[in-house]
């Protein structure tokens, strides 16, 4: 449980600033630690972000921003295309149901988060 929370917290720091208009595509080495604004924009980004594994065309993360904060569905994929993590964010905090899977798709963890804290271990 702490592993998923720690992993997602670190991941949040890594991905919070990598996205552009409507939907943007990035590789992991293009991600910074700041809230992203479009070039020459005065307002924080709102929209989808797709992050690819470095030097690859394989999707690693798909998530959404609202006013510069993570908001909505978040999915992290293994290189084999299977889901590693899935859940949602509300104002850049884990919120709602989250799940973690192994590389074969077997469920390892399912829990419910509220304001970034594990509120209930469902499994």
Q: What is the pLDDT of residue 3?
A: 46
Residue 14 above 60 pLDDT?
Answer: no
b/e for 76-107, b at 16 or more Cβ within 10 A? bbbeeeeebbbbbbbebbbbeebbbbeeeeee
Q: What is the pLDDT of residue 5?
A: 47
Q: What is the pLDDT of residue 54?
A: 84
* Total domains in the fold of the chain: 1
pLDDT digits (tens, 9 = 90+) for 86-119: 999 998 899 999 999 999 999 999 999 999 999 9
The residue among 26 and 84 whose pLDDT is bigger is 84
CATH of residue 117's domain is 2.20.110
Average pLDDT for residues 70-88, to the nearest whole number? 96
What would you measure as the largest C-alpha separation in the chain, in angstroms?
A: 46
Q: What is the pLDDT of residue 43?
A: 80
pTM of the model: 0.72
Q: What is the pLDDT of residue 31?
A: 55
Domain that holds residue 71: 2-34+43-121
Instruction: For tokens 């997602």, name the residue.
Output: 8
């Amino acid at each position: 449980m702490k592993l998923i929370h720690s992993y997602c917290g670190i991941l949040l720091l890594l991905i919070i600033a990598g996205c552009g208009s409507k939907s943007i595509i990035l590789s992991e080495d293009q991600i910074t630690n700041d809230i992203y604004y479009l070039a020459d924009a005065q307002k924080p980004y709102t929209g989808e972000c797709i992050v690819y594994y470095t030097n690859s065309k394989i999707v690693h993360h798909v998530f959404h921003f609202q006013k510069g904060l993570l908001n909505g569905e978040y999915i992290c994929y293994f290189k084999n295309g299977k889901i590693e993590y899935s859940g949602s964010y509300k104002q850049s905090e884990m919120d709602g149901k989250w799940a973690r899977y192994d590389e074969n798709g077997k469920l390892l963890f399912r829990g419910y988060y509220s304001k970034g804290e594990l509120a209930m271990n469902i499994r």
